Structure 1
Amino acid sequence: MKNLSIVLNAILIVAVGILFFLHFSGENKAEVKTIAGEGAVVYVNTDSLLSSYNFSVDLNEKFLKKQEDSRTDFNFKAQKLEKEAVDFQRKLQNNGFLNRERAEKAQRELMEKKQNLDQLDRKLSSELMAEQNENSKRLFDSVTNYLKLYNAKHKYSLIISTTKGGTVLHSANGLDVTKDIIDGLNARYKK
């Protein structure tokens, strides 16, 4: 009985040694390939996807240009109104109005222009937010539609997203499919 225990312990030590060697020697490449095979859970880094997917880059550039143009136009109008307000104030201090009614009328017109400018600011902000939401929806639809096609071939159980410093801090080789997804999306976008 004692000899059987020694033999079993020796076999167990050898088996553990072999497993240890295979695990840390890099000889388990076949195992790594099966990790990301059918039924695997893989992930896409959305930071990389958004900065490398040409459709995303194009949408963002168009949006930023529209935002910049909108802000430039608004700032021009705001500066013009500010100049009118300074002129009004100077004229009022120098008794430049023929009578009080004209001064009050000029002040009402100035206030109305200020209200119109505030209304324009809200309208522009609302339009930009709506466009940004629409761009996000288009981008999300594009990526999810591609992932359906991509996964029809690969048959992963789950494709999750992460960001730099997000939920996936480390993974086995082959589980990050970001580059494949970006390459496929960009190839499809070229068409």
Structure 2
Amino acid sequence: MKNLSIVLNAVLIVAVGILYVLHFSNSSADSKNLKSVAGEGAVVYINTDSLLTSYNFSRDLNEKFLKKQEDSRTDFNFKAQKLEKEAGEFQYKAQNGGFLSRERAEEAQRKLMAKQQNLQQLDRELSNKLMGEQQANSKRLFDSVTNYLKEYNAAHNYSLILSTTKGGNVLLSQDGLDITQDVIVGLNSRYTAKPE
């Protein structure tokens, strides 16, 4: 989710740069074309924090991801506890002369170290898999929102749709320029009609 916010903020930065160039290259003509209230040609914005918490597709993706993450951690923790128990048993045997020979003790220690390395490898693999899935979910979510915004803007003909977050770049705007709720309603209607 942070990746989506980063991507949306990057788009915002590019959009602000474009506005800056347009404003200073031909400010008098462009200022007549931009309207001060939401309507054709207006610059509007969406609060991505609200969008991510209210868009059902986003919530569903997040819930599935958290479930998968929890299942992975539970499985990993079970294996880690099993290894910890084996290490404790090895320690007890080693301290109490439970091995018939030094070679057997060294062999048991090597097996224990190999299991520990395998567990560390499993941890890295699980982390990489979860990170990859989170990135894929962020891309799916971003694609879903931007595809909807293309359809949405065809009916509204805004010049620019920006994104912001709570405490982000948009601190104050005229009423009607925040289209977040309208977009959330549309996204949720589309998602209910045909889940992504």
Aligned-pair Cα RMSD in Å: 0.9
Paired residue for 1:70?
A: 72
Deviations 1:24-77 (A, max 9, x none): xxxxxxxxx961011100000000000000000000000000000000100010
Q: Which of 99, 102, 114 does residue 101 from structure 2 map onto? A: 99
How far apart are the structure 2 equivalents of 1:73 and 1:34? 56
- What SS does the aligned partner of 1:136 have? helix
Paired residue for 2:144?
A: 142
Alignment of 1:40-79 (within 5 A): 40-79=42-81
- Structure 1 residues without counterparts, runs of 5 or longer: 1-32
- Structure 2 residues without counterparts, runs of 5 or longer: 1-34
Q: State the aligned residue count.
A: 159
Q: Which of 78, 84, 90 does residue 82 from structure 1 map onto? A: 84
How far apart are the structure 2 equivalents of 1:63 and 1:160? 27
How far apart are the structure 1 equivalents of 2:168 and 2:159? 21
- Equivalent AA in structure 1 for residue 68 of structure 2: K
Alignment of 1:1-191 (within 5 A): 35-191=37-193
- What SS does the aligned partner of 1:116 have? helix
- Equivalent AA in structure 2 for residue 144 of structure 1: T
> Rg bigger for which structure?
1
- Equivalent AA in structure 2 for residue 113 of structure 1: K
With the length of structure 2 as denominator, give the TM-score of the two structures. Answer: 0.80
- What SS does the aligned partner of 1:159 have? strand
How far apart are the structure 2 equivalents of 1:187 and 1:170? 29
State percent identity of aligned pairs. 77
Paired residue for 2:29?
A: none
With the length of structure 1 as denominator, give the TM-score of the two structures. Answer: 0.82
Task: Tell me the CA shift for residue 106 of structure 1.
Answer: 0.2
- What SS does the aligned partner of 1:85 have? helix
How far apart are the structure 1 equivalents of 2:54 and 2:192? 14
Deviations 1:105-136 (A, max 9, x none): 00000000000000000000000000000000
- What SS does the aligned partner of 1:110 have? helix
How far apart are the structure 2 equivalents of 1:127 and 1:61? 17
